[in-house]
Amino acid sequence: MQLPRKVSIIGTGSYVPERVLTNHDLEKMVDTTDEWIYARTGMRERHIAAENEAASDLGAAAAVKALEDAGVSAEEIDLIIVATLSPDMFFPSTACFVQEKIGAKNAFCYDLGAACSGFLYALDAAKNQIAAGAVETALVIGSEKMSTFVDWEDRSTCILFGDGAGAAVLKAGGEGRGIMQSVMGSDGGLADLLMTPGGGSRTPISHEMIEQKQQYLTMQGREVFKHAVTRMAEAVVQALEKNEISADDINCFIPHQANIRIIDAIAKRLGVADRMYTNVEKYANTSSAALAIALDEAVKDGTITKGDLVVLTVFGGGFTWGANVLEWGK
């Protein structure tokens, strides 16, 4: 019986749109203040895509940077997975549009929908296909144009989200232990706490649907907060146990960048505040792109270096959640 192959991340990249929307800008749009937003979310600004920029454009820009970082050509990619809840359209997959934009003509492509947990889910899916010998090299992307699904008149949600994309190139082999085992979970019974109710087969696009603003994201913030803290903290503990690693051995924890209060609560539960990486102040919540952008920045700014043990953890609509451990080998 052939043993699973080790899989490593050999390159990362990220992209955020040029336009910056600050808390002070939001003060002119809804009844809020910079102080209120920052105190409750830790956010100062977010990036907003141009009208002619779609999720595939953001994802392709991040992908090009990841390929350059990995020293891999687009034609060497066997698999592209795009994690997104804001696809270019229902079909074809946004991953197919990315494939065309970057020239990855030898890849097969699909999208993965797990809301804010998407990048970690996609990372695990690609890792498993490489480990099994089905493919050699994969490109995993988290890309979101959240600004198209936010009601800019709803001060409770419009302050929270931004646009952007992050990407990682995975390959068999590499130094160290690479991407280790993951822990993931879901609870569909809580789907109504964080969702976009309209536009699908349950509530098709109609004048009535649009008048009721069902095309926009809805969230019950307090309940989401409670479950996010609990599930991410539990997933981290379970992932560490599964990989037989102590929290004391981890050099960097990267959580989903949803809200600084959520991040601080998780850090306090785990006792790892000194090693918790955040960039939510600059980008707000970019959903499935958030973890990918944070990983790229942590590598590029030297927070993560060769040989470091890293924990990634996520939480998103569904509900979905998870955590994994990796040893950085680049």
Distance of CA 203 to the CA centre of its chain: 26
Closest among 232, 252, 248 to 316, alpha carbons compared:
232
Taking the alpha carbons of 50, 53, 57, 58 in that order, is the dihedral positive or negative? positive
Joined together, the tokens standing for residue 14 give 């990220």
Residues with a catalytic annotation lie at 116, 256, 285
Joined together, the tokens standing for residue 189 give 């019974």
Distance of CA 328 to the CA centre of its chain: 19
Alpha helices in 18-84 (DSSP H): 23-27, 34-41, 55-70
Question: Is 107 in contact with 82 (CB distance < 8 Å)?
Answer: no
Question: Is 42 in contact with 261 (CB distance < 8 Å)?
Answer: yes
Question: Beta strand 79-83 with 137-145: parallel, antiparallel or unpaired?
Answer: parallel
